[in-house]
Chain A
Amino acid sequence: MDAGLLAQYVMNGLMLGMMYALVAVGFTLFFGVLDVIQFSHGDVLTVGAFAALAGFVGLNALGVSSPWLELAIILTLAVAAMALLGALIARYLVMPLRSAPPLNTLLITLMLGTVLREGVRLFYPQGANPKPFPALLPRSSFVFGDFNLRLDNVLMLATGVLVIVGLQFLLNRTKLGLAIRAVAQDEETARTMGINFTAIVLITFALGSGLAAYAGVMNGLYYNEINFGMGLYLGVIGFSAAIIGGLGSIYGAILGGFLFAGLQTIGTVMLPFASAYKDVFAFAVVIAIMAWRPTGLIREKISERV
């Protein structure tokens, strides 16, 4: 294989990995503070992408035509709306079921995912069909021999890295981050130290859901198309990525995201019939990983408490 094609695959893998990592980080954050898996996380991503699209349509109607301004506005809109949605989900669906059996939390988030997915399908105009997503980033590209490095991909990748670095800074260098980590480590001790548990949980859910919205917009810009089912796929893959890295660890989630994207890209390259079976392969990998290391590559160091 020539270098140009290889570079193309690497670039695709990196883009995919960035999206998976952003979704996986959300799962890890939620699991950290509440020990629950928010199964509607992927569908929050879908709603975020559609919110951005709706914002774009609205801006067009208002006559705004600068792509940068439009992008900034719809991104802010999507992230803010999904942060609010995430906090609402935590407040009214996940927290009331804290003392219920874990199965109930699982079911309620799964069903909420269905509500969001079906809501988009039924109530967004022609939501059942794939919708074109506007290309708001510059379309120019650098040409290195066979390899076409698109500027928009570079920009998305760079901002994705910035977001992750920002998240790191927030979690490790600020008082809020300290509080989130404290709650994740031990809820009761955190409470006795005067941390407002409910507020921290809501902020964490807002943060994770905002990241999902960002990933959703990124997905739309990358593929120039969004559909109501995309979040389900990204959610399951993002969750597996979070598990590969060990739930509860931010670095693990990011690593897992890129690892998963790498596996998927290698699968696409290696297997001749893979283009059609791309998703089949991805989900087979999910199942295989769960069979191989059910609690992630970095084993959980806990024993059963009776």
Chain B
Amino acid sequence: MAGNNSNAARAGLWPGFAAIALTTCYLAVLLAAEEQNVIIALLVLGIVIVVGAAWFGLFEGVNRSFAEREDAMGIFAIVALVALAAVFHEAHFVLLLVLTVMLYSVATLGLNIQFGYAGVLNFAGASFFGIGAYTSAVLNTHTAVPHLIVLLIGGLLAALIGSLLLLPVLRTRGHYAAVVTIAFALLFKTFLEVNDVLGGPQGMQVPSMKVFGWSFNDNIDIGDITLSFYLNYFVVSLLLLIAAFALVRRLERSWIGLNLDALRLDETAASCFGLNIARWKITAFLIGNFLIGIAGALFGMVGGFVGPNNYTFADSLILVSILLLGGIGNPWGLVVATFIVVVVPEKLQTIQEYRFLLYAVMVIAVLLFRPEGLLPRPVRRYFPGWRP
């Protein structure tokens, strides 16, 4: 019996492995491509391959690999990311793009706890991201707080400022709660614009990260090889992403995740079964904002600049679009969707200006024709090897 199981499990590993390897190669080529025609051709090719693979049912094996051997898939994904970074060890811009994807993924993972599990709406994701970024700007400029602690403070501050919204968010539901966060997003941006201490409309410079005297904004020279300074940030971001991903996944599978699911699906029924609605909503909202804040704090240091126009309501909606395109509640889907949403407009300069419009239209189409998202959340697995 045990032998059969391990055989089946090993067989289940290959499709997922092949999918990750192929995706990584594809991404490497796409990221390296410079000419617009080549990029368009590559994107079309990618769409054709994905649609074709779906048509021939090739994704079933991949899905099974991810469902049954998730830890192994996680390790493959980490290796793939490291491989991407190794290939582009000199290319600043590509690394910055990969970093953006990773940090946005952390932020959307936080948003996912709120939207996807607890059903708490938050349309101010970019604002909490901005709180993190401004925290690192202010603390790095004016204080000598160690920068890893600054990341933590960024997260805590986002959670703390978010807790100002707790009362209205808890007392309202659905559309009303949405308005609270939308109002906060607008408030935050106008506040940044008129506040001179925080640089007003011009924003602020963020001093680069230093950990134990190691300056993150210097290129690393090993013999003849020069490594981009972004690789420093890459390591920190990767650790952050792994931690956030593991946290979200563990949370989802634990009894806490079960409680959050119950809460989202039917508040009344959940409270009849003795769940403390307020407690779990608060937990989800604070953890989510904490993750978004940490990601924002690191992103502020990576970018070296913060300004009000980077944290508008439209940016919050982009984060929500990522969530929706990826399939609410599915962390793997989120990472894929973040790649698409961040990388495509950056590579395809012609649509850069139109990205808000484009993603809004895409979300409308998804809502009308495939409301569960591109990669829907799989049914909860209560026991290992259990099939619904």
Is there an interface contact between A290 and B172, defined as CB atoms closer than 8 Å? yes
On whether A104 and B371 interact (CB within 8 A), knowing A111-B363, A306-B268, the answer reads yes
Count of A-B contacts with CB under 8 A? Answer: 121
0/1 string, B174-207, CB within 8 A of A gives 1: 1110111011101100110010000000000000
Is there an interface contact between A112 and B360, defined as CB atoms closer than 8 Å? yes
Residues of B133-187 at the interface with A, using a CB-CB cut-off of 8 Å, are 165, 167-168, 171-172, 174-176, 178-180, 182-184, 186-187
A239 to B180, CA, bound (A): 11
Is there an interface contact between A287 and B165, defined as CB atoms closer than 8 Å? yes
Interface majority SS (helix, strand, loop, mixed), chain A: helix
Is there an interface contact between A279 and B190, defined as CB atoms closer than 8 Å? yes
Q: Which residue of B lies closest to A92 (CB)?
A: B368
Interface check B364, CB cutoff 8 A: yes
Interface check A158, CB cutoff 8 A: no
Minimum CB–CB distance for A207 against chain B, Å: 21
Interface check B356, CB cutoff 8 A: yes
Interface check A33, CB cutoff 8 A: no
Residues of A74-114 at the interface with B, using a CB-CB cut-off of 8 Å, are 93, 96-97, 100, 102-104, 106-108, 110-112, 114
Interface check A57, CB cutoff 8 A: no
Is there an interface contact between A240 and B183, defined as CB atoms closer than 8 Å? yes
On whether A107 and B187 interact (CB within 8 A), knowing A114-B357, A118-B356, A290-B172, the answer reads no
Is there an interface contact between B180 and A232, defined as CB atoms closer than 8 Å? no
Choose among B123, B176, B191, B324 the residue with the greatest number of A CB atoms under 10 Å from its CB: B176
Interface check B317, CB cutoff 8 A: yes
Complex partner residue of B179 from A104, A107, A239, CB under 8 angstroms: A239
Is there an interface contact between B320 and A107, defined as CB atoms closer than 8 Å? yes
Interface check A283, CB cutoff 8 A: yes
Q: Which residue of A lies closest to B358 (CB)?
A: A118
Complex partner residue of B171 from A115, A233, A280, A291, CB under 8 angstroms: A291
Chain B residues closer than 8 Å to A232, beta-carbon distance? 186, 313
A73 to B363, CA, bound (A): 36
A306 to B184, CA, bound (A): 32
0/1 string, A277-306, CB within 8 A of B gives 1: 101100110111011001100000000101
Is there an interface contact between B361 and A286, defined as CB atoms closer than 8 Å? no
Please list the residues of chain B having a beta carbon within 8 angstroms of any beta carbon in chain A: 119, 121, 123, 165, 167-168, 171-172, 174-176, 178-180, 182-184, 186-187, 190-191, 194, 268-269, 313-314, 317, 320-321, 324, 353-354, 356-357, 360-361, 363-364, 367-368, 371
A-B contact pairs, 28 of them (CB 8 A): A93-B368, A96-B368, A102-B174, A103-B174, A106-B174, A106-B178, A108-B363, A110-B123, A110-B178, A111-B360, A111-B363, A114-B314, A114-B317, A114-B360, A115-B357, A115-B361, A118-B360, A119-B357, A122-B354, A236-B179, A236-B182, A236-B186, A277-B190, A283-B187, A283-B190, A286-B179, A290-B176, A295-B176
Shortest beta-carbon contacts, A-B, top 9:
A283-B187, A114-B360, A291-B168, A118-B357, A290-B168, A286-B183, A37-B175, A111-B360, A276-B194
